[in-house]
Amino acid sequence: MTFPALVNSGDSRQILLIVDDNQASIRLLREAFRDRPTAIDIVAVQNGIDALDYLYRKGEFTNARRPSLILLDLNLPRKNGQEIIAEIKADPQLKTIPVVVLSNSRRQKDINTSYQLHANCYIQKPSNLKQLLTIARRIDEFWLNTVALPTVSGSSLDQES
């Protein structure tokens, strides 16, 4: 089965896709990214099925734009984070989107498995708001302002379906 590819629509605003079932975490991350110097659109979904629907532009997400970065919790309902990483990294159209695991899990097995599935990094969620804000600023500085992120310009992914 094929799905419409996520595309860059010409809008230069970056998209941050947050996949987390905890509303408080989503709210805090939105707040942390709100005052950044460059405009960013934040999309949040609360389960693994919605994350994949967004990435494959299915259902309510038919007009989804390709995210510049995915912040992914591991412990999700309906499809867990490691299953999502495996699907993203197995798909030629999605595998170049960086996936940053942001999880409460401190289990070495979860860390190892995430990297084996080709997550781009694993960050343990801090226990307090100040630390979460610091981590969000560091993610912003590195992933959204320092590194050169892949685009789909000039490829078949650039065309709207």
What is the tens place of the pLDDT at every residue in 3-55? 344 444 455 678 999 999 999 889 988 888 887 766 789 999 999 999 999 99
> How far, in Å, CA of 111 to CA of 101, rounded?
9
What is the tens place of the pLDDT at every residue in 62-84? 999 999 999 999 999 989 999 99
The pairing of strands 121-124 and 99-103 is parallel
Domains with residue ranges and CATH for the chain: 14-144 (3.40.50.2300)
Phi-psi region of 21 (alpha: psi -120 to 50; beta: other; left: phi over 0): alpha
